[in-house]
Structure 1
């Protein structure tokens, strides 16, 4: 942390954490890098509203704090990218907890000024994963939403996810983001999704299983009942 960086000047782990992560955009940069290395332009495209100079400044700050490092893509790629360090990847569970806490805030309709990228739903799904419902299950689910592709992989009570196509997916979904959100928030049934042609590979039962083991509606129900 440099002299120019604001600090709470408190000898407290939470205050020290906020010294590193509390600036605007910092956690959103980390969110983008959780799904893999990104070019500067990739980050700028995903973080609508951040200026070039501010993004550069934030990246330099979190690089100095050991959360991010610059790297070169292996051949045939030649691009310079930013990626999380081992220290930065330790924020994975912390961010998933924050995302899980924030899911009830999506109960209100999306505002006209809200920007949305489908891959953000990948983090939402992982944050609501229910390991107890996935014991003995080994499956990969692939989602094509708008112009993005991401997948989740479940293996015996553990879940992971990444951008791009999955390896031998048993379920392939393809739709626009509004239809995908309608499925996730129970505004469209798996049977209706099948009738509209969104299930390219797999069955209605597989979609129902995905909705059981990745279940944001539980968070919304808890919020509505005050639990």
Structure 2
């Protein structure tokens, strides 16, 4: 059987990781074991990027620009060994290897959500830094205020380069999955620009003029969509 370069590299790194002493806390607390599973640098980022479905190695690398190929390979092999990630191959005509979360791996979403919600209260959090498409959509699932949704359901499409997502907004919140970017609203552009519109209050026409984000659909509905998401207040320590 012919092995591709990524498979060989992953297997080599898997062997290397077996010979590398992992961080162990010798503590029976579930939190301690959770940190043993997801506490290494970039591990939780990899899990975050797989929350909306399986992805190719190159796609993960593109959306995690600070990670090296070697470290990404090692994190994937470790997460696979621990049962959080599973490797599979897409059927023809794609026939490419992808990495996805196991059923248990998907159960980590509340960790990602609550850590994000907690950390956005930090005075040091900088929302203008780059953000991935998966990350901004997961933030919508975290920050949506269901009391603001009202009675009207609507659909939203998101297109970030070649990646497309479809979402439905209803009384239960926002439901996002990979799929054709169609809907009552369709946003196309950079995830950071979408974050600037929703969380930063930057006008859509300004973003469109900068070719950062475009909208197909009713601007009034888009404004209503943006109003659904509320960041928690900043923590201000006493002087």
TM-score category of the 2 structures, normalised to the smaller one: 0.7 to 0.9
The equivalent residue for 1:90 is: 107
Provide the secondary structure at the position in 1 that maps to 2:120: helix
CA separation in 2, counterparts of 1:64 and 1:40? 17
Write the mapping of 1:55-204 to structure 2, written as runs, cut at 5 A.
Answer: 55-105=72-122, 108=126, 110=128, 115-134=130-149, 136-145=151-160, 148-166=163-181, 168-176=182-190, 179-189=193-203, 200-204=215-219
Provide the secondary structure at the position in 2 that maps to 1:213: coil
Query: Between Structure 1 and Structure 2, how many residues are aligned?
Result: 218
The equivalent residue for 2:230 is: 215
1:13 aligns with 2:51: no
Cα deviation for residue 203 of structure 1 reads 1.4
The 4+ residue runs of structure 1 with deviation greater than 6 A are: 191-197
Instruction: Report if the CA contact (8 A) 1:136-1:157 is conserved.
Output: no
CA separation in 1, counterparts of 2:49 and 2:63? 8
Cα deviation for residue 225 of structure 1 reads 6.8
Provide the secondary structure at the position in 2 that maps to 1:180: helix
The equivalent residue for 1:49 is: 66
Q: Residue 2 and residue 10 in structure 1: after superposition, are their counterparts in 2 closer, same or farther (change >3 A)?
A: farther
Q: Residue 184 and residue 74 in structure 1: after superposition, are their counterparts in 2 closer, same or farther (change >3 A)?
A: same
Q: Kindly report the root-mean-square deviation, in angstroms, between the aligned alpha carbons of the 2 structures.
A: 3.1
Residues 72-109 of structure 1, C-alpha deviations (whole Å, 9 max, x = no match): 11332200111000000001122111222233457646
Instruction: Report if the CA contact (8 A) 1:129-1:213 is conserved.
Output: yes
| Stretch deviating more after TM superposition (132-141 or 92-101) | 132-141
The equivalent residue for 1:29 is: 46
Instruction: Report if the CA contact (8 A) 2:48-2:134 is conserved.
Output: no
TM-score by length of 2: 0.76
